Amino acid sequence: MLAAIGVDSIDELFAQIPEDIRLDRPLDLEDGMSESEVYRLLAGLADTNLDAERIPSFLGAGMYDHYVPAIVEAIISRSEFLTPYTPYQPEVSQGGLQVMFEFQTAMSEITGLPVSNAGLYEGPSAAASAAYLAINQTKRTGLVASRGLHPHSRETLATHAVGFGANLTEVGLEGGLTSGEELEAAVTEETAAVFLQNPNFLGAVEDIAVLGEAVKAKGAMLIVQVDPMTLGILRPPGECGADIAFGEGQPLGNRLDFGGPSFGFFCAREEYLRKMPGRIAGETTDVDGRRGFVLALQTREQHIRREKATSNICTSQALNALAGMIHLAWLGKQGFVELGELMARRTAYARNLIGNLDGFELLHEAPVVREFAVRSERPVEDLLPLGDEADGPAPRLQVYPLGRDYPEYEDSFLVAITENRSVDEIGWLAHMLEHGQAGWGEHIHEHDHEGNPVAGAVR
């Protein structure tokens, strides 16, 4: 090959790099390793993590330990889905493009909004994309967010607002729900958009339609972050007056993966179609009249419109959106509702059980679907380690302490329920919380509230 090129060494090809900026030493990294060595090293690291297969996880805050059906992995690991890139050549990308079309239909259905893109990176950055659309649409620069909006979404909005030349103000919560009074006062003629979340970060189901009235009255856009898995039973944002609905797609078919990759979704009213961020697949025909799919409306996108694009997004999360679509197809029309109902009923059970333990009370009484907030008499940081500190470092109860994000709720934590959290596990959590509250030295009992022996903690 060198002879064909007409050089004596590969080094000659690098001669175009000036000598003073050539690296004159080997990279200071370990030597390469065999496949089995890399496996063992990384498996060793993985083994030190307390994952949801080793301890019942009641962590939520936007990402949940749902059961991902086996067919998801079977399909997304096929080379034909795993290894191509963005469908720039539609004639050989019909598989991926049709998946996008099906995904767009599914997301449009569950959010009740007519237009969906093919996905974004994840939840909070989708908030920033929505803000960019709203600012360009309304030519206003005010952003208002409920404190019920995910703290990561609020912080992501604040980061991007600097670039957008926007300012962000927050509206407080009352009894777990966005304060209607504060919201009305915060929305002005300068407000581009108001961000709400349903259920909100504390798990409470908001009355989006009623809150939205104050938003609409000032001509601002109503943007709602939703948990897709609750939309089997909750009124969809499109029926509550939302202009845009977005959210974190992880609960749909994606692993926890310590936070990613997952996908974001973004749905809107028809009038925003040509201002949407991200890829959108559209149906069309080929020269012989066969049905086919292409990337539609590419003139919005960065590779065509450059500095005037509706977003800078290029590589997104296509494989993760496919996983979401397969999970939704597997749940199907009935299963999607049943899962919502199952979560609501088990959550009601867990909330009643834990809310009535000595030393605990509910942070709010608002209706919930799958996550609720509990206040503890004993400081949360003392409550969570499983056992006395004197016994050395202990694994922790997997619930979400609210203190970092909400100093005002420093004494509280969130409990999330999925179909993976059995009644036994809920009973175990209640028992451990009771222990933690009393102090590990106190004898509680060896049986749960129903007289069954309490299972061991960490598997």
Nearer to another protein, 218 or 410 (CB): 410
The one among 147, 255, 370, 375 contacting another protein by CB under 8 A:
255
Nearer to another protein, 88 or 185 (CB): 88
Which of 140-148, 179-187, 230-238, 357-365 is the region at the interface with another protein (rule: CB under 8 A)? 230-238
Does 189 participate in binding another protein (rule CB under 8 A)? no
Please report how close the Cβ of residue 117 comes to another protein at its closest, in angstroms. 9
The one among 172, 260, 355, 387 contacting another protein by CB under 8 A:
260
Does 390 participate in binding another protein (rule CB under 8 A)? no
The distance of Cα 103 from the centroid of its chain, to the nearest Å, equals 17
Does 57 participate in binding another protein (rule CB under 8 A)? yes
Nearer to another protein, 86 or 218 (CB): 86
Does 249 participate in binding another protein (rule CB under 8 A)? no
**Two tokens, residue 45:** 């690291």
Which of 99-107, 141-149, 215-223, 435-443 is the region at the interface with another protein (rule: CB under 8 A)? 99-107
For residues 357 and 192, the answer to whether their CB atoms sit within 8 Å is no
Does 87 participate in binding another protein (rule CB under 8 A)? yes
3-state secondary structure of 246: strand
The one among 130, 133, 164, 370 contacting another protein by CB under 8 A:
164
Q: How far apart are alpha carbons 225 and 148 in whole angstroms?
A: 10
Residues between 430 and 449 with contacts to another protein, criterion CB under 8 A:
none
Does 106 participate in binding another protein (rule CB under 8 A)? yes
Does 392 participate in binding another protein (rule CB under 8 A)? no
Does 85 participate in binding another protein (rule CB under 8 A)? yes
Q: How far apart are alpha carbons 135 and 215 in whole angstroms?
A: 15
Does 45 participate in binding another protein (rule CB under 8 A)? yes
Amino acid at 299: T
**Two tokens, residue 433:** 């919380």
Q: Which of 297, 134, 158, 287 is nearest to 219 (CA)?
A: 134
Can you tell me which residue has the tokens 């889905």? 81
The one among 192, 223, 229, 318 contacting another protein by CB under 8 A:
318
Contacts of residue 372, defined as CB under 8 A and 6 or more positions apart, other chains included, come to: 202, 203, 347, 350, 351, 355, 362, 363, 414, 415
Q: Tell me the C-alpha to C-alpha distance, in Å, between residue 178 and each of 45, 196, 217, 411.
A: 42, 8, 17, 20
The distance of Cα 219 from the centroid of its chain, to the nearest Å, equals 29
Residues between 334 and 363 with contacts to another protein, criterion CB under 8 A:
334-339, 341-342, 344-346, 348-349
Does 456 participate in binding another protein (rule CB under 8 A)? no
**Two tokens, residue 84:** 């191509």
Q: How far apart are alpha carbons 127 and 130 in whole angstroms?
A: 5
Does 403 participate in binding another protein (rule CB under 8 A)? no
Instruction: Give the interface size with another protein as a residue count (CB under 8 A).
Output: 200
25, with CB counted inside 10 A (0-12, 13-18, 19+), is exposed
The one among 56, 123, 176, 436 contacting another protein by CB under 8 A:
123
